[in-house]
Amino acid sequence: MPDTFTTHVLNVTTGRTETVLDLTDDCTQFLARASHGRDGLLNIFVPHATAGIAILETGAGSDDDLLTALQTLLPADDRWRHRHGTPGHGRDHVLPALVPPHATLPVLRGRLELGTWQSVCLVDTNVDNRDRQVRLSFLG
């Protein structure tokens, strides 16, 4: 009998610009190894104070729209009390209050249950730290 809890850490590089990185294929590949066709839950968690996990459409402009909205809501200027790093870096520490560092999604028969246009994405506005870890955990 396979374990009911399996976890794996993805090491990703987001680059030197704000980004929305699609992790859906990584989640699908992990579930193919971990779920053994079972129903359960997939938890995606990013253990960083300046990144989050979002479920949204990608490739049709929504990912860029999200970054634009975050730039409007959280401008990279000198208003932030948290001041180390590049100018405006304090905004990156507020990001997880708007884009949480986790998501838990249903898995049915070993497959991630997403809507037609939904993708699992890492949202990273911190240009000072491009190396990220994302923990994928399956409970089923």
Over residues 121-136, the pLDDT tens digits come to: 999 999 888 899 999 9
- Determine the pLDDT at residue 2: 56
- Residue 114 contacts residue 105 (beta carbons within 8 Å): yes
Identify the band that residue 10 occupies on the pLDDT scale cut at 50, 70 and 90: very high
- Determine the pLDDT at residue 84: 84
Over residues 12-54, the pLDDT tens digits come to: 999 889 999 999 999 999 999 999 999 999 999 999 999 999 9
Where exactly are the structural domains of the chain?
Answer: 5-139
Phi-psi region of 123 (alpha: psi -120 to 50; beta: other; left: phi over 0): beta
Phi-psi region of 71 (alpha: psi -120 to 50; beta: other; left: phi over 0): alpha
| pTM recorded for the entire structure | 0.93
Considering just the CA atoms, what is the radius of gyration of the chain in Å?
A: 16
Could you say which of 2.60.40.720, 2.60.120.460, 1.10.3720.10, 2.60.40.2220 is the CATH number of the domain covering 5-139? 2.60.120.460
- Determine the pLDDT at residue 88: 86
